[in-house]
Amino acid sequence: MRPKRDVALGFALADKHRLSDETLNRDPDTLWSLKIPGCPSKKSRDVTFAHVNIIPLQRYLKLLLKCIFNPKQRTAKIFAVSILGPYPCCQKGRKMGYKCFLAYRMYETYADASKKCQERGGRMAMPRDRKEQEALAEYVKSVFHGNWPVWLGINDERSEGLYLFEDTTRVTYFQWRKHFLSSQPDGGKQENCVAMSSDDGDWWDTYCERRMYYLCEFDV
């Protein structure tokens, strides 16, 4: 069964144009477009609403704001439309249930990685059970060959030893590295953020200021 459709608020630029209920209720997987006068792209004047489902809504709004403040288009009006449908982000990531995991090859601190995920309309990856953990570990291994640490959305910054997800819910499933030489967690109050090793999927606690690759998750 498909997840319940999310309703996001976007802005479209047009001259006294209104979208009918029939148009708004179309299947979100169907590609359809709307003419936006005064805001032509290099290739076309069409804005395909399917793009809203592919790029974060914030970026879409920024593009439209450029149209709004175009001095050549002073008579345009702004109105709100509902953009229906889930966020199909898994063309390059790994889909797991109603989640899409997506890896980013950019070095960021834990805080900056969290901010980047939110700016894209998601959050840092939060594997909540063995099934999600195994799927995520397999995906990470296929993306980052070798042994690379990758940020997860887990930390114990609020209270030592109390690991919480980014949404502040308590972590109940763990995949700490267990080894007679270097079992985890071992950083005490100094290492409060959690990373996954790309070679075996095990978790490590490490310094939150360390710059590493990171994983985001999106609702689909």
Supply the DSSP symbol for 189: G
Residues pairing with 84 in the sheet: 7
Select the more confidently predicted residue: 174 or 184: 174
| Residues 80 and 98 occupy one common structural domain | no
| Residues 55 and 13 occupy one common structural domain | yes
Tell me the average pLDDT across 140-163: 95
CA–CA–CA angle 114, 115, 118 (5° rounding): 90
User: Number of structural domains, the chain?
Assistant: 2
Q: Is residue 183 part of a domain?
A: yes
Residue 190 confidence (pLDDT) above 70:
yes
Residue 87 confidence (pLDDT) above 70:
no
| Residues 117 and 186 occupy one common structural domain | yes
The residue range of the domain holding 58 is 7-84
Residue 17 confidence (pLDDT) above 60:
no
| Residues 121 and 148 occupy one common structural domain | yes
How far, in Å, CA of 162 to CA of 194, rounded?
A: 12
| pTM attached to this predicted model | 0.60
